[in-house]
Chains A and B, each alone.
Chain A
Amino acid sequence: MEPTLTVHDLTRRFGRRTALEGVSLAFGRGVTGLLGPNGAGKTTLIRVLATTLAPDAGRVAAFGLDPADREQRLAIRRRLGYLPQSPGAYPHFTAFELVEYVAILKEIDDRRARHDEVRRVLAEVDLGDRAHTKVRRLSGGMRQRLALAQALLGDPDLLILDEPTVGLDPEQRMRFRALLSRLGASRTVLLSTHQTEDVTTLCERVVVMRTGGVVFEGTPGELAAQAAGQVWLTTTPPEGTFWRTPDGRYRTLGHRPPAAVPGEPGVEDGYLLLLGGEQVAA
């Protein structure tokens, strides 16, 4: 299958700081998770893909279109839903008005169709009953959902979400996962997150970035497998870094502590070992 989105040898600098260097990736239908520590370049990559930031070097193509060209960029934007990391909002709009404003800028010109669509996306994020509340009166998590709602407008073929689950309560996070799992069946969804659980529960693919480069690309299972044979459970606190498990035992990564039994590796284990393996396992 032809990938929806490809980047080749992408580089982007901010002054002397390199945010992206030689990144080449391809994204097809399904949900891809983007992991990486703070400052890894996730947002920078996402902004380039969402056509809001031009790369210094490299090629980008979405739906076979080049965002460097004005007309083609417009064509990409017509099929794109984007949730930025800091979406912001206009505090004096109601939730409905904010989404409607974006809908107008998404060229949904027919009034009735637009209003129906606004109501639909508000319902998707469970804000149907808050439609006429002013944005400044919404809670942080509700604002995040509102920002997500505008990204869903027009049922875009490509959905790019930068840390969409930040601030969501567990129930809303479940709801979000269900929504994205449904959308991912027929669309291309790219999301960045710091929640490895998001990746485990809804991503088919995962990309791990570090200091502007890609350090892993594969399925969540493959990422978890990075930690195979390095997850240990003990009944007494081991030396070094450890954390507690729900059943009262201690979990640690890396070298086997005395009297430890092997544990089941997860995405988080793989991720941690991949990035900070040396420190974590020290």
Chain B
Amino acid sequence: MTLTVFELRRMLRNPLIWAAAVLAIALEGVRAAQWWPDLTVVTLRAVTASTLVAGAVLVAANLAAGRDRRFPETLAALPGRAPSRTRAVLLAAPVVGALAAAVVIVPLVLYGHLRGPAAGSLDVWEALNGVALAALAATVGAALARWTPWPFTPLLVIFAFLALIFVNGLGEYGGWALPWIPLHDPTLGPRPSALHLLYLLLLAVAIGAVALLRHGLRLVPAAVAAVATAIAVPAIAQADYLPKPPPVACRQLDGLSFCPRAGYEPWVGRWAAALRPITSAVPPEALADMPALRQDTFGGLPQVWLTGVTEMSVAGRVATGVAGLEGGPACGKAQTVVALWLTGLVSGLEESAPADWTRPPDPIEKGPGWHEYPLTDSGRSSVSPGRLPGVVYDGADLVNARALLADPGAAVKVRANWAVLTDPATTTEQAAPLLGIAPIGGAKACGEAE
């Protein structure tokens, strides 16, 4: 007991563990600030950040449990014996590890919660997975110290763990038997977090018992290891995503219909606000034909929200829809210029091709809304999402849309001529007098030379 307290106090003062905790909070906190708070994602990310602490705890527990290799002869002659030293580390290190993990996870989740309106749901079991993971790492560190004499095995184990969870982020190999699965596909349903927590705790107990078995094959640790493994393995083998909650009702706002996934209702107002430059620029009847924006389909509303990037992609979807574009080549059409202009209202058009870029390299379509441009003359490859999903346009359309964006009276002109401008037969050249721009490019196939 005295020894456990001693180890506890030492571990509590371990700079490695607390440096890892501070680093985890800082790294994840900075990153989180760019995303709309989504408690489901925030919790997963916080636990993933806390794996840094788990790694530090693994090393610290390993050093503590392996400490007596540094002065074996002195310790051998003392009444306090090796199993009690192992036991003290096995009790102290998981407690401190769990505490340090909680110190990382709680503020990150709270930060997400307080930044509201937060979507998603806070799964306490999921958060506790991080706490259990650090405790498990502590027992692994201690067991490694007892069973392997090499000081670098903890680093190898940490490396293997990182490879498993980050290269194999959705648990493609190993599934729920992995100590942690950092990524989540919400369309699959809620994760079996409570079961996974139980699994981690049982694993920690089993590995702790295995560490003690190094001191001799005793009945109690052998039985504990066997029972814990016997429960943990079948339990995790049949773990699966939970049934999806029923869909929630769609909500009308600013003339659009938003259909969030369960738990994402708080974001409807934010979605609408992000799209307001478009919804307030187009005539109301243009919005009437827009299909509902659904969050649970690919190409619909986003699952997560990265400020600056996600606005552009959602704006692209809505702009394409209201302008009546149907996908495929659309160079030189008034529709295309209007749609690009609408996205420009939300996120500007600066980042696109340079103004003198009238003949873009032919884009290679990689998927809906994704065009990859081949190497440019300067030798750089530019990979960028097209602004308008499924629609192929070129630099001339961008230049024309940018001219329109520069005109403060553009909204009035567009609204007044909406029907003509969104007619697929109208070319940019024909629409130029209505828009008050001097277009470049002319009517031509996409990528065609002047």
Contact = CB atoms under 8 A, between A and B. Distances in A.
Interface in A46-97: 47, 50-52, 74, 77-78, 80, 82-92, 97
A130 interface: no
Contact of A52 (B3, B10, B70, B73): B73
A185 interface: no
Nearest to A111: B2
A185 to B, nearest CB: 24
A252 B74 CA distance: 41
Contacts of A107: 79-80
A101 B7 CA distance: 9
Interface string B64-103: 0001001111111111100001000000000000000000
Contacts of B159: none
Contact of B78 (A87, A89, A91, A105): A105
Interface centre among B2, B70, B71, B80 (most CB of A within 10 A): B71
A101 B6 contact: yes
B341 to A, nearest CB: 65
A100 B74 contact: no
B67 A90 contact: yes
Given A104-B2, A109-B2, A74 B79 contact: yes
Contacts of B75: 102, 105
A147 B77 CA distance: 13
Contacts of A104: 2-3, 6, 80
B79 A86 contact: no
A106 interface: yes
A126 B80 CA distance: 27
A150 interface: yes
B76 A105 contact: no
A74 B386 CA distance: 78
B70 A100 contact: no
A103 B317 CA distance: 72
B73 A78 contact: no
A109 B79 CA distance: 13
Interface centre among A77, A78, A80, A100 (most CB of B within 10 A): A77
Contacts, number: 62
Interface in A95-123: 97, 100-102, 104-107, 109, 111
B79 A87 contact: no
Contact of A106 (B6, B10, B67, B80): B80
Given A89-B71, A90-B67, A109-B2, A52 B76 contact: yes
Interface residues of B, number: 19
Given A87-B71, A89-B71, A50 B77 contact: yes
Interface residues of A, number: 31
Contacts of A83: 74
A238 B297 CA distance: 105
B2 A88 contact: no
Contacts of A109: 1-2
A106 B73 contact: no
A44 B142 CA distance: 31
Contacts of B76: 51-52
B205 to A, nearest CB: 25
A78 to B, nearest CB: 5
Interface string A226-251: 00000000000000000000000000
B50 to A, nearest CB: 24
A100 B74 CA distance: 13
Given A106-B78, A106-B79, A86 B2 contact: no
A11 to B, nearest CB: 21
B77 A87 contact: no
Contacts of A82: 74, 77
Interface in B199-214: none
Contacts of B79: 74, 77-78, 105-107
B67 A87 contact: no
B1 to A, nearest CB: 8
A105 B80 contact: yes
A52 B77 CA distance: 6
Contacts of B73: 47, 52, 84-88
12 contacts: A51-B76, A78-B79, A82-B74, A82-B77, A88-B72, A97-B10, A100-B6, A101-B6, A104-B2, A105-B3, A106-B80, A111-B2
Given A52-B73, A89-B70, A111-B2, 16 more contacts: A47-B73, A50-B77, A52-B76, A52-B77, A78-B79, A80-B77, A82-B74, A83-B74, A87-B71, A89-B71, A97-B10, A105-B75, A105-B80, A106-B78, A109-B2, A150-B74
Interface of A: 47, 50-52, 74, 77-78, 80, 82-92, 97, 100-102, 104-107, 109, 111, 147, 150
Question: What are the nearest 6 A-B pairs in CB distance?
Answer: A105-B80, A88-B71, A84-B73, A52-B76, A82-B77, A105-B78
